[in-house]
């Protein structure tokens, strides 16, 4: 397969990331099929996209039926809820219902692609990789592409070619490390900022200002956490802690409590900040 042969893109999960990823593909001329298990989410995604004139919503369709939607996709990007068991099941379905040539990519924030392939056929495994889009998708400059244990060089090259067509720079990881490069670094910054908040060193606003103006980063870590979604942040931190078992990776109790109260950041209009 050549990069030019990749025209139809299935996106599984029409939430925060799926919607933005679908819009980017459509904007660059690809045909996009958005799939979600939740009709309300599909409607919200469609409404959001149709409000953006630069996207060409006519290239996107929205579906509840995964099987029908992906049957002749050339590339499928899985971007469902960050849950390992769910993702393993979805990859099994994608393997079963997609065409022989279809590439499968996961947008997981932390799971090595190799872990998602327990129920995927041997023929498909070389066609699977992690393709980590950063939020906000429109302005981010890179996509991290991780080569798993079975990923072929051809797949990595095709995904790197697609990344360039999307106007982004591919960053290739040769090792399937949990959290990849960017999230390992964000994790380190988050742990320190959350610890400073717990130690009452400074307020959320002051710590964010120090990050922005002192470290020259475009946004503070609390702002970024609210944008990612505190449920996603908590589950990524918890998962890293469970995998490595190192005490310093333990997510703070206050973060768990915020998630339990439904304070998930921008998507619920309340997190570290109020929106
Ligand atoms: N939020 C971020 O900033 C960010 C950045 C990079 C990567 N990610 C990763 O992207 C993925 C999605 O994150 P999100 O923030 O968009 O989450 P989200 O909760 O906004 O969306 C996830 C969607 O998946 C749907 N879903 C669940 N099971 C499904 C299934 N079996 N089939 C189809 N749809 C299903 C849900 O209904 C939901 O709409 C996660 O793996 C996350 O770690 C998130």
Domain ranges (residues) in the chain: 3-173, 182-268
Q: How confident is the model at residue 160 (pLDDT cuts 50, 70, 90)?
A: very high
pLDDT, the chain, mean: 95
pLDDT, one tens digit per residue, over 128-159 is: 999 999 999 999 999 999 999 999 999 999 99
182-268 CATH, one of 3.40.50.150, 3.50.50.60, 1.10.760.10, 1.10.1040.10 = 1.10.1040.10
What sections of the chain are H helices per DSSP? 16-27, 39-50, 66-70, 84-97, 153-165, 180-198, 204-209, 221-228, 230-244, 253-260
What contacts 107, CB < 8 A, 6 or more positions away?
Answer: 17, 21, 77, 78, 79, 130, 131, 132, 133
pLDDT of the residue at 134: 95
Say which DSSP state 256 is in: H
pLDDT, one tens digit per residue, over 171-189 is: 999 999 888 999 889 899 9
Instruction: Determine if the peptide bond prior to 136 is cis (ω within 30°).
Output: yes
Give nearest CA residue, ligand 1 atom 8.
109
Give nearest CA residue, ligand 1 atom 39.
15
Question: What is the CA(203)–ligand 1 centre distance, in A?
Answer: 30
pLDDT reading at 21 higher than 90 = yes
Give nearest CA residue, ligand 1 atom 10.
79
3-173 CATH, one of 3.40.50.720, 3.40.1190.20, 3.40.50.1100, 3.30.2320.50 = 3.40.50.720
pLDDT of the residue at 73: 98
By annotation, the residues acting in catalysis are 109, 132, 144, 183
Q: How confident is the model at residue 109 (pLDDT cuts 50, 70, 90)?
A: confident
């Amino acid at each position: 397969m050549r990069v030019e042969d990749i025209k139809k893109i299935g996106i599984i999960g029409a939430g925060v990331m799926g919607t933005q990823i679908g819009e980017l593909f459509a904007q660059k001329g690809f045909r996009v099929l958005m799939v979600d298990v939740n009709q309300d989410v599909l409607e919200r995604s469609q409404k959001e996209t149709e409000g953006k004139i630069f996207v060409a919503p006519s290239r996107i369709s929205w579906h509840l039926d995964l099987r029908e939607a992906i049957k002749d996709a050339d590339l499928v990007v899985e971007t469902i809820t960050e849950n390992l068991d769910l993702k393993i099941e979805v990859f099994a379905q994608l393997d079963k219902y997609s065409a022989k040539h279809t590439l499968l990519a996961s947008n997981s924030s932390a799971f090595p692609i190799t872990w998602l392939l327990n129920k995927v056929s041997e023929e498909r495994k070389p066609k699977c990789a992690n393709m980590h889009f950063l939020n906000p998708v429109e302005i981010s400059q890179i996509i991290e592409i991780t080569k798993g244990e079975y990923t072929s060089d051809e797949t990595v090259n095709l995904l790197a070619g697609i990344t360039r067509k999307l106007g982004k720079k591919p960053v290739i990881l040769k090792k399937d490390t949990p959290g990849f490069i960017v999230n390992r670094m964000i994790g380190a910054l988050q742990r320190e900022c959350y610890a400073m908040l717990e130690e009452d060193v400074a307020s959320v606003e002051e710590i964010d200002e120090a990050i922005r103006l002192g470290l020259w980063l475009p946004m503070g870590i609390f702002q970024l956490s609210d944008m990612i979604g505190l449920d996603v942040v908590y589950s990524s931190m918890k998962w890293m802690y469970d995998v490595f078992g190192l005490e310093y990776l333990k997510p703070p109790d206050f973060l768990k409590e915020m998630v339990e109260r439904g304070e998930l950041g921008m998507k619920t209009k309340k997190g570290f900040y109020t929106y």
